[in-house]
Amino acid sequence: MPAVLSARRLAAAGLLALTMTVAAPLAPTPLAALSAHAAEKGVFFPESFSLSNGMQVVVIPNHRVPVVTHMVWYKVGAADEERGQSGIAHFLEHLMFKGTDVIPPGEFSRIVAKNGGRDNAFTSYDYTAYYQNVARDRLEMVMRMEADRMANLKLTDAVVYPERDVIIEERRQRIENEPADRIGEQINATMFVHHPYGTPVIGWPQEMSTLTREMAEHFYKTWYTPNNAILVVSGDVTAAELKPLAERYYGAIPARPVPERKRVTEPPLTSSRQVVLRDEEVRQPSVRRIWTAPSYRLDPDHQAYALQVLSEIMSGGTTSRLYRSLVVDQKLATSAWLGYGPTAWDMATLSVGASPAAGVPMEKLESALWTEIDKLMKSGVTEEEVATARKRMLAAAAYARDSLTGPAQTLGAALATGQSIDDVESWPVRIDAVTADQVNAAARAVLSQTNHVTGLLLPPTGKDS
């Protein structure tokens, strides 16, 4: 899902290419030059074990530099909140920095920084994660500190209610003062009329102002337990080295019963809907349309991998179909894209959008954009396009191994949303097996749905491009 909130900032929706798609793709390679052999299983080659209290531990060795990324992922997010308490997951993320009996409020990040590291946290619909990037010899220190706040967070009115004012102000600055974020929030709320994915991660303002210390404590005691958490460590360490530390600090925390993640389902809507936002602050108009799509976990027709290949074909850089047609050839847009991310506990979304070039009426851009989508629906993609996209995506997966934080983020998000390590490691094989027929079938299945939502972000009447 699109929204991810950080303890001190709003983070980008795809923190790291969670779906393994290419952020800055290579130029297409001619079909004749494509590799003839099939892709092999394996992306990050992690090691894994479980503690006696049920906590899963994943280690991704990378010995290039003596640095590690230490992450704790909780399998709970904004979509697991009780109705009427929107924003409590993100609020608790902030409050996790407010101290224990051992570490005073605000000292956690100061200690990490004093030791040359960086830390932060982020909340999404389906998970909440806390991380530190530190030198290898500081790993035990951050494990001790993170385990301490997993079990011993101390909240008082004196720290809770000023922090509530902080998240309310964060919403004003990041959402209410940003037209693009405001319309994104409204599009989500229109798309998901019953499911909690329609409620913003940061919360609705009228509910944020009523969040209490008791609510935060209840959410913490309900969900923050080692048997509902995943420890992922990437960098200059092995599982054999990490295991005694994990057992010492996290293994000593008792497990507690965790509720089942119960999510309501969307009603069977069939009508299309439109959201229009006009605002004086709009400098770059845009149009976007979203459809519901299968996620990795909920994919009965096995379309997720084909839709990732579709996204690469349509939006994988300056040679992609949409960019080439709307920006380069027709010169109607400054950007054009198709986005899809299958990492979600429930359904995912597929979106298409564009921003007009100077002087281009929005109606003209819309017409051209929908023409491209109609062309895709009628004529489909070719085997050569699919083969080229697969090659670029497999190259990106290989390069992803060089990152320190990327592997930890990819595996953590996958495991928190119902995937297994084998699912992640099998990604190259599954992408390499995608055919043009599968891409076309998946595209038509999603794009033929009539319950889509279209959003138009525009300047005030009379000031359109």
Q: Which of 93, 146, 312, 372 is catalytic?
A: 93
Q: Which helix (H) or strand (E) holds 232?
A: strand 229-235
**What span, in angstroms and rounded, lies between the C-alpha atoms of 190 and 266?**
12
Residue 196 per-residue DSSP state = G
Please state, in angstroms and rounded to a whole number, the distance separating the CA atoms of residues 368 and 243: 56
Residues 6+ apart with CB under 8 A from 170: 10, 202
Beta partners for residue 353, in sequence order:
288, 337
Residues for the chain: how many in total? 465
- Cα separation, 254 vs 269, in Å, equals 44
Distance CA 264, CA 261 (A): 10
Q: What amino acid occupies position 456?
A: L
Is 384 among the catalytic positions?
no
Residue given tokens 């094989």 in the structure block: 429
H helices present in 316-404, as ranges: 321-322, 362-379, 383-400
Angle, helices 436-447 vs 362-379, to 10°: value is: 130
**CA angle (99 as vertex; 96, 101 as ends), nearest 5:** 135
Distance in Å from the first CA to the final CA of the chain: 30
Question: Distance (Å, rounded) from C-alpha 139 to C-alpha 133?
Answer: 9
Contact status, residue 275 vs residue 454, Cβ threshold 8 Å = yes
Give which of 447, 286, 449 is closest to 374, Cα–Cα.
447
| Contacts (Cβ under 8 Å, ≥6 apart) of 197 | 1, 79, 125, 188, 191, 346, 347
Q: How far is CA 432 from the centre of its chain?
A: 23
Cβ-based neighbour number of residue 46 at 10 Å: 21
Query: Cβ(299)–Cβ(342) under 8 Å?
Result: yes
> What is the three-class DSSP state of 275?
strand
Extract the tokens encoding 293: 């799509």
- What would the DSSP string read from start to end of 92-125? HHHHTTS--SSS-TTHHHHHHHHTT-EEEEEE-S
- Three-class SS state of 82: coil
Active site residues: 93
